[in-house]
Amino acid sequence: MTAIAPELQAPSTSAFDAVPALTAADRCDATTTTVREGSGSPNPRVACGAQAYVTALFPSGRTLIFCAHHGHSLEASLVQQGAVIRDDSGVLQQNTKPGASA
């Protein structure tokens, strides 16, 4: 996993103070294309559905939430669009037993 540069992280007192912390019920807003088994034809885009750990807060006040995978892969694009990122994916490492992969 890549770490988000400190200058891209939200300060402790920020607009994120009004954004609720993510819970196990929060799911990734990204969509993905799946392939129909045996056909090779793509299905319509479907929601990722993984637990969200990354929050992107836009200047408009809108938020999008992502799993660690999508949050990290989309980070540069989100920041370019003016979003500030809160990355809580460190929890994944805290909840992983020694020797296990996250």
Residue 54 has a pLDDT of 96
Whether the pTM exceeds 0.75: the reply is no
∠ CA 47-86-74, rounded to 5°: 45
Is residue 11 in a domain? no
Whether 6 maps to a domain, the answer reads no
Instruction: Give me the pLDDT at residue 65, please.
Output: 95
Place of tokens 């929601």: 47
- Domain containing residue 82: 24-93
Q: What is the pLDDT at residue 10? A: 47
For residues 53 and 88, the answer to whether their CB atoms sit within 8 Å is yes
Residue 13 belongs to some domain of the structure: no
Instruction: Spell out the per-residue pLDDT of the chain, length 102, in tens.
Output: 445 554 445 444 466 788 888 999 999 999 876 666 666 666 667 788 899 999 999 999 899 999 999 999 999 999 999 999 999 998 877 665 565 554
Domain count, the chain: 1
What pLDDT does residue 97 have? 57
Residue 20, pLDDT score: 85
